[in-house]
Structure 1
Amino acid sequence: MLCWSLLVGLSFPVVGWLSDSLPPLLLTSLRFVIASLALSLLVRRASDWRPHARAMGLYALMGLCLAGFFGAMFWAAHHATAVSMSTLFVSVPLLAFLMGCLAGVERIAWRLPLVLALGALGALGLAWAEARQSDGAGWRFGIGEGVFFLGCLSSALYPVLSKWGLRRGWLSASAAVRTFWSLAVGAVLIGLVGLGIEPVTALTEMTLSDALLLIYLGVGSSALTFWLQQRATAVLTPGAVTAYSYLVPFVSMILLFIRAPERIDWIWAPGAILVLGAVMLLIHGGSDAPR
């Protein structure tokens, strides 16, 4: 999950290099299609790569979670402030923990909620530091924030469904198979939404550099990151898996300092220290399986 947080953090500036005129939902669908094709090479080696009816229904729900999160994120980006969205995203690990408790796949103890609270405070501190330095719009809660919160619920539900299916033996033991089917179904669902609200002709404006970046995001980001997340889901609880998302703004902070060293300031320190402390506690005792 440390590798996962690094890859996710590095993917944000790459997404920013894509042409602004390209339709985001259709682009995400293509990205997931590329990721699924890359994973298909590994999937065929698994004996249980063809899911039965119950597994296919669960993969459909997992794909719906991916479609819900990315669809909400792209829509909310035009109706909510960046500070509000980053603050709401902090709720994902706690939501995953609570839903995991309800689904019976989370360990009910005081330690993980304490770590989640520590990481959330750190992530909020980094969001506050970014807002202070960028002079952007502050926190608010409107229709855009409400839609994005529903996307956060979808994101939190994804590892819970994965863990629940693994516990019952419905899903494949192969992380590649689980990643392939959830991304493939997610690609179809996001693509259908994109076809309904975005102009398909806008894809003709894609340049060679856009195509190469999309292939990188599909293979190096989506396929690899979701595969790493599925591998971690087999060992960690949903709350512990999603808690590593607190490291993503930390990675973004490091990239910011590399690009603009003049923005280094002590206001980043409290959030960064809290996030690192939470991750160290996770590494020390977040596993379900024997070491």
Structure 2
Amino acid sequence: MLLLALMWGLSIPVTKFGLLSLPPLTLTALRFAIAVPLLLFFTIGKQRLPRRALPRVAALGVLGIGIGQIAQAFGVAGTSASVGTIISATIPIFVVVFAALRLKQSVSGRQKLGLLAAFAGIALVALGNENETSAVLQTSVVGAGLMLLSALTIAFYYVWSVELTHEYGTATIAAWSTLFGFIALLPWAGWEMRLVPIHITAPAMGAAIYLGFVVSVAGLFLWLHLLRTFPAGIAASVQYLQPVVGVAASAAIFGDRMGTLFAVGVILVLGGLALTMTNRRKVDQAV
């Protein structure tokens, strides 16, 4: 669980690092060019995906990658690494919300309070570097909005994928939805490459390999192993550690500083996460 918190917690800072050398669409395309063959490899011997499922799986991939991951890449480019990390930490909160809406699972008053706390925390985090000038320079409203869109989209992707994985298996849905999302991304990445000079440096390639192999593939299978080993409520507690790792890494790599508003925002987001996930039965259902 600590290893997974480290792997996934570094995702946003590493993305920010990769964006220093590559534009967002190109970095995202490289990430999934690495992830897709590995994910397809793990489908060997697994349940085949029938033709009737292709439209839903393709739509799932376009949603998760074509919208969610692209919005995240542009959002990270428009925010500080610390702000991006904290906003992305709200994904499990939205998972509970969408599970209630789509899977007809009830939401308790405590979970609603957690959602409100998390939104208040996001608002403060978007403003909360050490001084206002620094906040304006590092984080834009558009960047924070894109990170929030990414969190919403990825959370819905997770909930929608639950229905499909029950029918066709986790590895199969993960691999094929990622493939379809990657295919949808390619024309946009090609368009970006024609407009922006591309220089693939060793640090940028290292970031793409980390995001593709460590985050998208190794992290996924480690997460599935945790779900098989521990109750979902215990395994999901790794979500508390990810933003802590991300903020610490952002401070070390980029010199991000925690001002008062940022610190209060972090507390509200983590408190909202805690309130949302306190009911273990609903956590099990949502996961």
TM-score normalised by L of structure 2: 0.71
Q: Say whether 1:24 aligns with 2:24.
A: yes
Deviation at 1:150, TM superposition (A): 4.9
Residue identity matched to 2:245: V
Residues 162-184 of structure 1 show CA distances to partners (whole Å, capped at 9, x for unaligned) of: 12324xx4331xx3333222221
Distance 1:256 1:30 in 2: 22
Contact 1:122/1:273 (<8 A) preserved: yes
Deviation at 1:220, TM superposition (A): 0.8
Distance 1:182 1:84 in 2: 28
Q: Say whether 1:287 aligns with 2:283.
A: yes
Q: Say whether 1:136 aligns with 2:131.
A: no
The verdict on how the C-alpha distance between 1:11 and 1:262 changes in structure 2, with shifts beyond 3 A counting, is: closer
Partner residue in 2 for 1:102: 101
Partner residue in 2 for 1:179: 174
Partner residue in 2 for 1:250: 244
Deviation at 1:158, TM superposition (A): 0.4
The verdict on how the C-alpha distance between 1:263 and 1:27 changes in structure 2, with shifts beyond 3 A counting, is: closer
Partner residue in 1 for 2:190: 195
Residue identity matched to 1:155: I
The verdict on how the C-alpha distance between 1:5 and 1:279 changes in structure 2, with shifts beyond 3 A counting, is: farther
SS at match of 2:129: helix
Q: For 1:89-128, what aligned pairs fall within 5 Å after superposition?
A: 95-104=94-103, 106-128=105-127
Q: Percent identity among equivalent residues? A: 25
SS at match of 1:22: coil
Distance 2:56 2:257 in 1: 45
Residue identity matched to 1:250: V
Gaps of 5+ in 1: none
Q: For 1:139-158, what aligned pairs fall within 5 Å after superposition?
A: 150-158=149-157
Distance 2:84 2:29 in 1: 22
Distance 1:123 1:193 in 2: 29
Deviation at 1:221, TM superposition (A): 1.7
Deviation at 1:64, TM superposition (A): 0.8
Residues 93-152 of structure 1 show CA distances to partners (whole Å, capped at 9, x for unaligned) of: 55544433232253433343333334444455544433647632299867x777666545
Distance 2:254 2:194 in 1: 36
Partner residue in 1 for 2:167: 170
Residue identity matched to 2:244: F
Deviation at 1:77, TM superposition (A): 6.3
Aligned residue-pair number: 277
Distance 1:10 1:96 in 2: 21
TM-score normalised by L of structure 1: 0.70
SS at match of 1:43: coil
Residue identity matched to 2:168: L
Partner residue in 2 for 1:216: 210
Contact 2:86/2:266 (<8 A) preserved: no
Deviation at 1:280, TM superposition (A): 4.9
Gaps of 5+ in 2: none
Q: Say whether 1:33 aligns with 2:26.
A: no
SS at match of 2:114: helix
Partner residue in 1 for 2:200: 206
Contact 2:83/2:125 (<8 A) preserved: no
Distance 1:179 1:114 in 2: 32
Deviation at 1:18, TM superposition (A): 3.2
Contact 2:72/2:147 (<8 A) preserved: yes
Distance 2:52 2:67 in 1: 21
Distance 1:232 1:129 in 2: 34
The verdict on how the C-alpha distance between 1:60 and 1:85 changes in structure 2, with shifts beyond 3 A counting, is: same
Residues 186-233 of structure 1 show CA distances to partners (whole Å, capped at 9, x for unaligned) of: 111111222234328945x32344334322221012223444567789
Partner residue in 1 for 2:159: 160
Residue identity matched to 2:249: L
Contact 2:15/2:76 (<8 A) preserved: no
Residue identity matched to 1:211: M
Contact 1:21/1:202 (<8 A) preserved: no
